[in-house]
C-alpha cells in the first residue's frame, strides 16, 4: 500500500516545503496523509470541476500547482468557490496537495520545464536565494579525515554549483585532556594530549543539517567531537526564482516571439517594443514574474518570458529588454507534465491522470 504521505514525502524530497515563499501555502491542504492512494489527478488549479473529475475517475488525491487555500478560512459554509471545493473534497474523501513556489524555486522545477521547451542551454537560476547554506567545520585525526569527509559527502554536504565532494582541509594540532570519566581515542585520560588533526570545512544546504551532523558524528572516531556550524550569507545557486539560459543560436526578435507562441501554446503574447537586437539570452519565470525584471536586465537577458505584467510595468523594459507576457496559465500549463514525470519515476501501483479541465479563468476572443 502507498499512502498519501509516501507520495507527498517523495515530492517534498524534490521540492521541499521550506523552499516556498513566505506568502505561500504549499503542502497537504486537506485529507488524511495515512490514507492509501487509489489514484492521483494532476492539475494546475484544484477547482470544483477538478474535484468532480477526481470523483469520476476514482482518484482520491488531487495534486495541484496552486494551493486552493491561500489565506485563512474562518467559516466553511460553501459561500465561494474555495469553500465549495474544500467541502466537496472532504465529503468525497479526496485529499488536495499543492506544490507551488517550492516547485518554482528548485533547479529542476517549473522554470526548467519552460527553459527546456524553448531549447535553452547553460541554464541557471535567475535570482538565487540567500540564507539557505551553512558551513560545517570539524577536526579529526589526520588518518581519519578521509572517512569523516566521505560521511559528510554521502549525507549531501559539499555541493557547490555543478561540483560535489567540495571541502577545504588544513592540518594543525589539536589539544585536549579527558577527565576520569573519559575513554579517549588517542592519548591518556588525565593527561594533556597533542594530536595532528585535519580541520575539514564543508558547505551544506541548511535543511540537511541533522542528516550531515549525525553522519559526521557516526564516522568520527572521537568520544567528544569538536565541530562548528556557521550560517553563511552566500547566494545558493540551486534555489531561487526564474531561470536564465541561452538559445543555441541567436534569433530575430519576431522569430523568437513566434517560436515562443508555438512552444508555449499561447493564443496571445503581450510584449514591449522590439529593440532591434537579436535574442540570445532568455530569462523565464512561470506565473507572476514581473518582480524579476531588474534581475533579467542586470544579467543582460534579451527577453523576459513570464506573465501578469501590469500596463505601467511594461514601460520599465525601457528599451533594454523585451518583456513577453504569455499569460499565467499558459506559462504554467506544462507543470502538470512535470508532476506526472516525477511521479511516474517513483510510483507504478496506482493510476496517474492529467486533469482535462481547463481551469484558466482568462478567455481570449
Ligand atoms: Zn501560478
How much is the pLDDT for 117? 96
Q: How many CA atoms lie within 13 A of 254 on its CB side?
A: 1
Q: Which burial class, exposed, middle or buried, applies to 86 when counting CB atoms under 10 A from its CB (0-12, 13-18, 19+)?
A: buried
CA of 101 to the centre of ligand 1 (A): 8
CA of 37 to the centre of ligand 1 (A): 26
Whether 183 has a pLDDT exceeding 90, the answer reads: yes
CA of 307 to the centre of ligand 1 (A): 9
How much is the pLDDT for 72? 86
Q: How many CA atoms lie within 13 A of 304 on its CB side?
A: 33
Examine domains 4-100+334-354 and 110-124+241-326 and report if their fold is the same. yes
CATH architecture under which domain 132-232 falls: 2-Layer Sandwich (3.30)
Whether 350 has a pLDDT exceeding 90, the answer reads: no
CA of 49 to the centre of ligand 1 (A): 18
189-200 average pLDDT score = 96
Antiparallel, parallel or unpaired: β 133-141 and 227-232: antiparallel
How much is the pLDDT for 349? 86
In whole angstroms, what is the distance from residue 257 CA to residue 261 CA? 6
CA of 288 to the centre of ligand 1 (A): 7
How much is the pLDDT for 161? 84
CA of 106 to the centre of ligand 1 (A): 15
CA of 232 to the centre of ligand 1 (A): 31
Whether 162 has a pLDDT exceeding 90, the answer reads: no
Q: Report the topology of domain 4-100+334-354.
A: 3.40.1390
Identify the CA nearest to 13 among candidates 354, 353, 343, 334: 343
218-269 tens-digit pLDDT:
999 999 999 999 999 999 999 999 999 999 999 999 999 999 999 999 989 9
CA of 67 to the centre of ligand 1 (A): 10
CA of 141 to the centre of ligand 1 (A): 52
CA of 36 to the centre of ligand 1 (A): 29
**For the chain, what are the domain ranges?**
4-100+334-354, 110-124+241-326, 132-232
CA of 96 to the centre of ligand 1 (A): 17
How much is the pLDDT for 159? 93
Residue percentage of the chain with pLDDT more than 70? 100
CA of 263 to the centre of ligand 1 (A): 18
Q: What is the pTM of this model?
A: 0.88
CA of 328 to the centre of ligand 1 (A): 6
Whether 71 has a pLDDT exceeding 90, the answer reads: no
CA of 360 to the centre of ligand 1 (A): 11
Class for the domain spanning 110-124+241-326 = alpha beta
pLDDT band at 321 (very low <50, low <70, confident <90, very high): very high
Amino acid at each position: 500500500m502507498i499512502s498519501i504521505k509516501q507520495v507527498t514525502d517523495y515530492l517534498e524530497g524534490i521540492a521541499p516545503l521550506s523552499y516556498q515563499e513566505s506568502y505561500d501555502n504549499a503542502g497537504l491542504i486537506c485529507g488524511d496523509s495515512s490514507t492509501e492512494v487509489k489514484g492521483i489527478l494532476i492539475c494546475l488549479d484544484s477547482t470544483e470541476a477538478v474535484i468532480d473529475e477526481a470523483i469520476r475517475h476514482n482518484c482520491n488525491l488531487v495534486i495541484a500547482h496552486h494551493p486552493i487555500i491561500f489565506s485563512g478560512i474562518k467559516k466553511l459554509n460553501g459561500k465561494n468557490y474555495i469553500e465549495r471545493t474544500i467541502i466537496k473534497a472532504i465529503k468525497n474523501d479526496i485529499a488536495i496537495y499543492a506544490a507551488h513556489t517550492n516547485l518554482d524555486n528548485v533547479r529542476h522545477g517549473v522554470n526548467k520545464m519552460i527553459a527546456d521547451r524553448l531549447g535553452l542551454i547553460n541554464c541557471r537560476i535567475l535570482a538565487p536565494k540567500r540564507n539557505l547554506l551553512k558551513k560545517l567545520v570539524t577536526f579529526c585525526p589526520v588518518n581519519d579525515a578521509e572517512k569523516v569527509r566521505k560521511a559528510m559527502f554521502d549525507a549531501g554536504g559539499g555541493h557547490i554549483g555543478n561540483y560535489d565532494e567540495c571541502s577545504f582541509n588544513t592540518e594543525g594540532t589539536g589539544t585536549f585532556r579527558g577527565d576520569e570519566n573519559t575513554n579517549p581515542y588517542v592519548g591518556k585520560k588525565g593527561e594533556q594530549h597533542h594530536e595532528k588533526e585535519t580541520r575539514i570545512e564543508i558547505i551544506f544546504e541548511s535543511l540537511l543539517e541533522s542528516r550531515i551532523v549525525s553522519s559526521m558524528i557516526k564516522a568520527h572516531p572521537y568520544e567528544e567531537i569538536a565541530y562548528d556550524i556557521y550560517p553563511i550569507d552566500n547566494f545558493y545557486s540551486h534555489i531561487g526564482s526564474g531561470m536564465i539560459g541561452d538559445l543555441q543560436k541567436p534569433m530575430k526578435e519576431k522569430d523568437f516571439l513566434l517560436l515562443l507562441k508555438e512552444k508555449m501554446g499561447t493564443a496571445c503574447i503581450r510584449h514591449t517594443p522590439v529593440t532591434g537586437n537579436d535574442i540570445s539570452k532568455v530569462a523565464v519565470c512561470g506565473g507572476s514574474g514581473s518582480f524579476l525584471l531588474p534581475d533579467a536586465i542586470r544579467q543582460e537577458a534579451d527577453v523576459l518570458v513570464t506573465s501578469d505584467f501590469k500596463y505601467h510595468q511594461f514601460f520599465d523594459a525601457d528599451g533594454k529588454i523585451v518583456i513577453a507576457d504569455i499569460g499565467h496559465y499558459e506559462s504554467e500549463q506544462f507543470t502538470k507534465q512535470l508532476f506526472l514525470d516525477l511521479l511516474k519515476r517513483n510510483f507504478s501501483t496506482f493510476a496517474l491522470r492529467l486533469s482535462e479541465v481547463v481551469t484558466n479563468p482568462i478567455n481570449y476572443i
